[in-house]
């Protein structure tokens, strides 16, 4: 009985220590660098490079997952605000509107990407309110598949839809691997 209690206490202590040593959550807002310029296109040596900007529409962020080799390049390609419902049967609730966000995912890692991308996406308004996605189809284009499996080098493209109050100004989009539970989250600012 005593050995069992000691073993249980030791196991609990090990789990606590492992949790304390886990990676800290990180929000990546810096877009991947653009291809380098030719010598003729480069600015003179005396010109300082501009400060890195936050990612926005058209920028690609590289994100890592929980497991070794899990890595994707995510590009926020377009937004649709307000997003028009694809049919007359599904609409936002009164006082709300839909916002569509199109993303392209490229598996840039060495492991297979197998996830539900829209589970790891959310938007925030300028007041700091966060909104999860809704299952909806919009006229802007096809929705992102509910489950996506990509071998290294493969890509997926689709729309995620969010329902927000009509007067909300959506300010940012976030994306995280592992259905949003990975330690690294990508964030794009909307203008």
* pLDDT tens sequence across 115-169: 999 999 999 999 999 999 999 999 999 999 999 999 999 999 999 999 999 999 9
Residue with tokens 């007041």: 127
Residue 26 confidence (pLDDT) = 72
- List all residues 6 or more positions away from 190 whose beta carbon is below 8 Å from its beta carbon: 56, 57, 79, 170, 171, 172, 173
User: At residue 122, what are phi and psi to the nearest 5 degrees?
Assistant: -155, 160
CA 189-22-19 angle, to 5 degrees, is 125
Cα–Cα distance for residue pair 191/186, rounded to 1 Å: 17
Residues in the chain, pLDDT under 70: 1-25, 34-52
**What's the pTM?**
0.75
């Amino acid at each position: 009985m005593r050995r069992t209690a000691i073993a249980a206490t030791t196991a609990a202590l090990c789990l606590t220590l492992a949790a304390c040593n886990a990676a800290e959550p990180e929000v990546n807002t810096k877009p991947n660098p653009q291809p380098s310029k030719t010598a003729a296109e480069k600015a003179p040596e005396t010109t300082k490079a501009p400060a890195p900007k936050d990612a926005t529409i058209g920028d690609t962020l590289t994100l890592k997952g929980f497991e070794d080799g899990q890595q994707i390049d995510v590009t926020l390609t377009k937004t649709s605000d307000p997003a028009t419902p694809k049919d007359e049967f599904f609409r936002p609730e009164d006082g709300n509107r839909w916002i569509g966000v199109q993303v392209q995912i490229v598996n840039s890692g060495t492991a297979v990407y197998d996830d539900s991308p829209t589970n790891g996406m959310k938007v925030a308004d300028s007041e700091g309110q966060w909104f999860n996605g809704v299952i909806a189809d919009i006229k802007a284009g096809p929705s992102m598949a509910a489950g996506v499996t990509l071998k290294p080098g493969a890509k997926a493209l689709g729309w995620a839809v969010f329902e927000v109050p009509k007067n909300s100004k959506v300010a940012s989009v976030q994306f995280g691997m592992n259905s949003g539970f990975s330690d690294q989250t990508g964030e794009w600012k909307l203008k």
